[in-house]
Structure formats: C-alpha cells, structure tokens
A and B are shown apart, each in its own frame.
Chain A
C-alpha cells in the first residue's frame, strides 16, 4: 500500500465511522435502561419468596429515587376461598365520573398522556347498544334526561381473551379471578389490547408522568406500582386494596352507591345477594363467551 492509497482509505474509513456514529444518534434518546437486576429477573410465577423480597427492594429503591417518596410495596397473594365479583347498578349510576379519577389516583396511572381504566358510557334509554354511546359528554349537570350511564372497565373475564393471546404469558388469571399482569415480563406487543373486546387494556406509549405529590405509596407488585414505557396495564380490582380486605377505590368514591364488590363464594356478601335476588343483570357482550366477573344490574 502506498502513501496515497493509505490516506484515501483512511479518509473514507473516517467519514464512514463518523457517519455510522451519527446515524445511531436516535439511540441516545433512549432513557431508563433497565438495571441488570431487572433484566435478569425471573418470571413472577417462578419466583421464590426470597427472589420476590429482592425484587420488592429493587422496586422500592427505584420508586424512591424517581419520586423521592418511600413506597410500601407488597406482593399480596389470593386469599383462600375467595372469588371476586363486581356488580354495578345501572339504575343508580349518575355518570359523575368520580370513579374514573379515584381510580387514576389510587392506581398511579400516567396523567400525561392520560391513562384511565374506567370509561363511562352515556347511553340512550331503551338500548344497550354500545354503538349509540358517548364517552366524552360534558354537560352542566348529570344525569341528563333520557340517558343512563354505564361505566366500563376490565371485566375480569373467566375466559379472558387477553390471556389467550399473550405470547410470553405476562398476563394470567389468578385464583381469586383477577387477571394480573407482570409488568416486568410484558414485551409490549399489544396483542392483548387487540384481543380485549372491552377496550380495557391501555398501553404506555411514553414514560408515564405522575406528579410526585400525587403518587400513591401503598403499592402491590401486580397492582399499582409505577409502570415503565412500553408495557400494558389495566384494572386489577385494586389488588393492593382488595387482597388486603378493603373495597376498591372506585366503589368507595361512588356517591350513588352504584358499585358493589365482594366474594361470590360467601353467600352473605352483597354481590351474592344481588346476583341471587335482583331480577335483571347482564354481562357486557356476553355473546362473546368471555364470561365476565363484572355484572350490570337494575333495581326492579
């Protein structure tokens, strides 16, 4: 190789290397590389209690670093002899959307862009046709004459289509009926969103934004711990509350007492009595065979 050849090829190589580096620039915009610990983390259902302990410590530190607030992260297991059912009284619901916002506050959803688990549909009287519904109503006062309101959230189906399509088993049905998601196992393919007939699943297109003073520090692994960009999330019956024996947040805030929740295996529970004595109740889109655990009923 002569001098001229060397100079020429090194110039070309230099430009090429610089161009390659510059063309990879968009990678610099990637933030939040997951830690090695998270990367090597096991699947939720294969974790031993010791593994889980470590994971909960990791999450506690991550949340503390990000939000400056020490959370109380738990991994609550299903209780024996408990199968959850939700019942919603369509006669009582006034469409005030308080449940929507109580849910966001409880479950640490992203505020911008907005993720909401509950969508309240305004429906004309005399029809259950969702095609006729409207979800961005904003009149001076609710309820409006001639309409009823139907809040829709995850129906916690007994035959969940979202679970069937998940290619990595990041979502599954727990023994108490809650369809849970392991956010650290989700690959963000969004098949579950396409499969869900209720529009219950939501995707974190960007890094979720939660103001520090709005973070709920009472957290559960399968529940309301902060999510990352690129994972799916949905209603989980407030796992951090209900598996500790409490009512879900949407129920406690409902000013009309339209929402009822409990253990269907307990004959004394509200939901058992509602399903046994109320004359009309529907499962949304029951013709699809998903068999929701979420029932809509009417006062007779």
Chain B
C-alpha cells in the first residue's frame, strides 16, 4: 500500500517536472520557430495577357484605325512597277523607306523577291501563284497557297491559337448557356509575314523553391 503511494507520487512529480520543463522550453522558444513564409515577388501582369504579340493589317481595318501609313501610292507612282535591286550575292537590297522589313521568309535567302507575294502592278494587293488577287485582309489565303498542310490544320483548329469556347455553336443552332463563339487568329497575328519564324523571347520567371533557394538566387543559369 505504502509502495503504491510512493509510485504515484513519483509519477506525479516526474509529470509535473516534464510539463514545467516543456513550459520553460516553449516560453523561451528553445525548439525554434517556424520560419516565416517569404513573400515572393508577384508575376508581371503583362505575362497574363492573352492578346497576340502583333496586330495584323486586318485587325487595323476592323478596328477602323488610322491607315494613312499603309497608303502605297503616297510615294509610289500608280502604273509604274517598282524595280528591285540585288547585291552581288543575289540578295535583295531593302530600300531605306522599307527598313522595318526584315527578310527572313524561307531558308538560305531564296525567297528574296517582294513580288512573290505582293502584286507589282497594284501594290495594295497580294498575288498568290494561282493568279488570284487578294486584299491584305485576306492574307491567310495567300499563306495557304504555299503552306497547304498548315492551312488545312489551321482550318480545323489544329494549328494556331484559338480562344473562346471549345463547345462551339454549330452553324444554324442557337447559342446555349455553355456554348458560344470561338476565335481563330490569322497567320499574320502571330507570324511576321516577312520573317515568320518566332523571334526568341524572355521566359517568364522560373519556379521558386520552398526554402531551398531565395528568388535572388534564381539568376540566369547558363548551360
């Protein structure tokens, strides 16, 4: 009986001592605190925009923008074909007036004749190889006249950007609650027709690791 009492008392003393020690430890923060969450920089809202990176002539026409800059016959003379000049490597010399044009369509500089696509008799038109005359707004048809498979993919929505509704309203049906229009982009909204390959661009910031690296560490990693 006496023994039991002693054991109980011992257990109580040990428990009390343990709690007292824990209390001291917690109040002195001996176990260390949870590291505060580091506030990471927010991403630039520019990166979240869904617009295409360039605007086409057709967009400008649709938005009724100022088109004076696109009037060819302010400088050119009607009925007179412009003459192309080539250097001794058979490369086209771009006149200063058109210095914004970068010729990079096709490899090895083989596509170096403006009038493969532009109409030399009417500069406000485009001319595919089949002899049609197309307006600038119809440039997608011109692209399609050479890039057949890509044009076919584009028509099916497989090539190029789409936006809006995947659940699209079929022709002749009424728009319901969960379907609506969808938008395809023209070729020239993403590709520069004179240099269609996408230019390189700066990537959006890489992931920040949880307490492994600070954002300042994530500088350019060379390869």
Contacts and interface: CB of A to CB of B under 8 A. Distances in A.
Interface of A: 12, 15-16, 18-23, 25-26, 79, 82, 94-98, 100-102, 104-105, 111-114, 116, 119, 134-144, 205-206, 209, 211, 214, 242-247, 251-257, 260-263, 269-270, 273-274, 277-278, 299
Contacts of B180: 245-246
A267 to B, nearest CB: 11
Contacts of A96: 201, 203-204
Given A141-B202, A270-B158, 6 more contacts: A22-B23, A114-B40, A134-B223, A135-B206, A206-B37, A247-B182
B52 A255 contact: yes
Interface string B180-199: 10100100001000000010
Contacts, number: 185
Contacts of B161: 252, 254-257
B165 A102 contact: no
Contacts of A254: 161
Contacts of A97: 203-206
- For chain B, give the interface size range: 35 or more
B156 A247 contact: no
A246 B204 contact: no
Contacts of A19: 16, 19-20, 22-23
Interface in B9-52: 12-13, 15-16, 19-20, 22-23, 26-27, 37-40, 42-43, 47-50, 52
B165 A16 contact: no
A139 B190 contact: no
- List the 4 shortest-distance A-B pairs measured between CB atoms, nearest first: A22-B23, A19-B19, A141-B200, A245-B167
A60 B182 CA distance: 31
B164 interface: yes
A257 B15 CA distance: 67
Contact of A209 (B39, B160, B179, B221): B39
B173 interface: no
Given A136-B207, A138-B218, A211-B42, A23 B37 contact: no
A270 B157 contact: yes
Nearest to A211: B42
A21 B27 CA distance: 11
A116 B207 contact: yes
Contacts of A244: 177-178
B48 A253 contact: yes
Contacts of B220: 138-140
Contacts of A143: 200
Contacts of B159: 257, 299
Q: Which of A134, A138, A260 has the most CB of B within 10 A?
A: A138
